[in-house]
A and B are shown apart, each in its own frame.
Chain A
Amino acid sequence: MSSKGFLSSPTNRRSFLKHSVGVAAAGTFGFKLASPAIAKETTWTLANSLRSLANPYHATFSKGGADFAKTIDAQYVTLVTEGNSEKGISDIKALLQRTGGKLILNVDPNDSPDARVIVNEVQKAGGYVVTQWNKPDDLHPWDHNPSYVAHMSFDGVPAAKALALQLFKAFGGEGGVVAIGGILSNVPAIERKAGLDQAIAESGGKVKLLDFQAADWNGQKAFDVTQAWLTRFQGQINGIFAANDDMGLGALEALRQAGLAGKVPVVGLDGIAGAVKAVEAGEFAATVAWDPLWTGGMGLAIPYAAATGKIDIAKEPKEHREFYGTSIMVTKDTVAAFKSGGAALDFNNLWSKVTGPIQYRG
């Protein structure tokens, strides 16, 4: 039927891949953008579910998925939640339906509770799923063999703590910092704040937290907040800690307005291009890169291996079922190496970047 024709049309596949790696020419959308329909019952379909393609982290995440899909020449689909849990979940259900359960899903749930619902749906349909970042503490892959292959995350607390220490180092270990948080109730936001607090506590009073404000992951808000801070704490601000790079860059621009860019060090997390550039320029003291290319790809490679029987997931040790990936601290010293590295990923070496089991903090 027509869908078959549409599927096998190479131009469509090419244009789709082109767009999904994000070099779309302006003004070509609509059905040019339509991905090929899925051939049922024959191959596995790969899908990454993420918040929105409009942010660099997830765009790269999606690219990672596309890259892996290319290596096994499988259909690859990106689902976006638009920050709306219900939408995210119903899209996944629809895709499970459409692929008759032959779905390999790598999902960054919009909010931790979503994970349980998604896992149950995938298990019902007989697909395979890996979750990223968010899941309820009492939800474990080994309780849902074989469908729930793994949960991978990055430990926000130590990362943020290490990052904070980098920041303190940048201004000589003594002085006042201000901190910009994400959406107050988000798990990563909480972890990263916790990491910062630890670092401050350990500074033994040398470093003072002047103020903490929430900018909802929004660079714009971070900009306004920072400007107000510059007035409120004239001269007292020695460093700015931002819970993600976008807000960090917002803060940096506010500093630039006041001619303080590069004078007051900023740190952020995610390792997006802009932040890395800022590190090179010496305006960011550091950023933490999560390697979304790897998570985006490996989050599919592992369940694919399980699905195709390359590994028996049920027999894998727990630290291969719930684990932290390697986060990379990017500082002025390491930035060159960081940029050159991270080239071709070896999707066969599944556990190369595993750095230990998930910690549950009360």
Chain B
Amino acid sequence: MGMRDRLQAYVPAIVLVALVAAIGLYDNTFFSSGNLLTIFADTMTLFLMASGVTFVIMIGGIDLSIQSVASLASCILAISLPRFGFGAVPLAILGGTVSGLLGGLVSTRLRIPSFIATLAVSGLVLSAAYWLSAERSINVSSEDSDRVLGWVVGETAGVPNEIWLGLAVLAILSGLFGLTPFGRLVRAIGSQERAVMASGIDVNRTKVAAYALSGTMAGVAGVVMGARLGSGSPTLANEFLLPAIACIVVGGTAITGGVGSIWRTFVGALIVQVVRIGMTFVGVSAFAQQIVFGFILVAAVAATMDRGKIFVIK
């Protein structure tokens, strides 16, 4: 079974490679390095969104507020950029952190299931975004974005900076997940929360931290989106929530917690993106795309899910 486990860990990657190969065989321009780089780069926003939530899902919760949080961050960025210059970036991300923190506190202190707690907080955050942006989408002047946001939109060594950023986040979060006590506790809580409590650990602190991290990464995603699109708006990140969660689960992380990792989410995001773009390449008509996407999602999860440690599937 140890063997099976080790194999299991590669399934998402295998699925990804298989998909890429299949699409490439159908239309080999898909393989062109330019194209692969583009797809890669375009996946990063999605990955950033999903990366933080992965921690929340690992502790067995869920964060439905990321979409509003990212939008809020983009608004903060666009508003404060003229005044604070680069300071706007940390400010926007901080906005995300605070929102995440709020969700975590509501869920842990009031003992409300995260599904509802974060849904509710998402409403609050959206109101805040509307209020901040005065119900407008705010443009980021090109000189501002060149001055401050070059690190997102530019290229380095012929590779789009989004990719570098994504890889950096992957590295940092994987480190956080694999090397730090926080990551250790996140895994532990997801697998057997009561044992962790009984071991004299303040479970709530870790949980709240996970939600805060989720908010923070949503904030980062918001900043990146704001930079790529040169604007901030309360609806900028719309339609991002479910795809983001799809990435996580498609990567093989268990929605019930305990089992998973960041790189799985990374691969999951690529899978989702490749499927979407792939449909355009294979020429699946716009009508069929959602149908195909839906079923591929289920199939992918069926394939990548690590059932070794999950007993009751709800």
A residues with a Cβ closer than 8 A to B are 2-3, 16, 19-20, 24, 29-31, 33-38, 40, 53, 62, 77-80, 82-87, 89-91, 93-95, 97-98, 100, 111-114, 116-117, 136-138, 183-187, 190
Contacts and interface: CB of A to CB of B under 8 A. Distances in A.
Interface in B143-184: none
Nearest to A93: B38
A53 B288 CA distance: 11
A184 B216 CA distance: 26
Given A98-B27, A113-B137, A185 B292 contact: no
Given A34-B285, A80-B289, A183-B235, 15 more contacts: A20-B285, A20-B287, A35-B283, A37-B282, A53-B287, A78-B285, A84-B240, A85-B225, A86-B42, A90-B39, A91-B276, A94-B277, A111-B231, A112-B139, A186-B235
A50 to B, nearest CB: 9
A271 to B, nearest CB: 23
A32 B35 CA distance: 27
A24 B277 CA distance: 24
Pairs of residues from A and B, 5 with the lowest C-beta to C-beta distance, nearest first? A113-B231, A90-B42, A33-B288, A184-B135, A113-B229
A31 B292 CA distance: 9
A35 B27 contact: no
B233 to A, nearest CB: 5
Contact of A94 (B35, B45, B136, B137): B35
B269 to A, nearest CB: 12
23 contacts: A20-B285, A33-B284, A33-B285, A53-B286, A78-B285, A79-B286, A82-B290, A83-B239, A84-B238, A86-B225, A86-B228, A89-B228, A90-B38, A91-B277, A97-B30, A98-B27, A98-B281, A111-B137, A113-B230, A183-B235, A184-B130, A185-B130, A185-B235
Nearest to A33: B288
Nearest to A75: B283
A94 B139 contact: no
B92 to A, nearest CB: 16
B34 interface: yes
B88 to A, nearest CB: 16
B34 A97 contact: yes
Given A20-B285, A33-B288, A97-B34, A86 B46 contact: yes
B236 A85 contact: yes
B29 interface: yes
Given A2-B26, A20-B285, A34-B283, A86 B45 contact: yes
Given A3-B26, A94-B39, A185 B277 contact: no
A80 B281 CA distance: 14
Contacts, number: 144
B118 interface: no
Interface of B: 26-27, 29-30, 32, 34-35, 38-39, 42, 45-46, 130, 133, 135-137, 139-142, 225, 228-231, 233-236, 238-240, 243, 273, 276-277, 280-292
Contacts of A137: 139
Contacts of B240: 84, 86
B136 A37 contact: no
B162 to A, nearest CB: 11
Nearest to B139: A136
Contact of A16 (B27, B233, B235, B285): B285
B238 A94 contact: no
Contact of A80 (B26, B141, B231, B286): B286
Nearest to A95: B280
A34 B230 CA distance: 34
B292 A30 contact: yes
A200 B100 CA distance: 42
Interface centre among B32, B137, B141, B238 (most CB of A within 10 A): B137
A188 to B, nearest CB: 12
B45 to A, nearest CB: 5
B288 A184 contact: no
B42 A97 contact: no
Nearest to A12: B283
B70 to A, nearest CB: 11
A97 B283 contact: no
Contacts of A98: 27, 29-30, 280-281
Contact of B229 (A38, A114, A185): A114
A20 B290 CA distance: 15
A185 B137 contact: yes
B42 A93 contact: yes
Contacts of A94: 35, 38-39, 277, 280-281
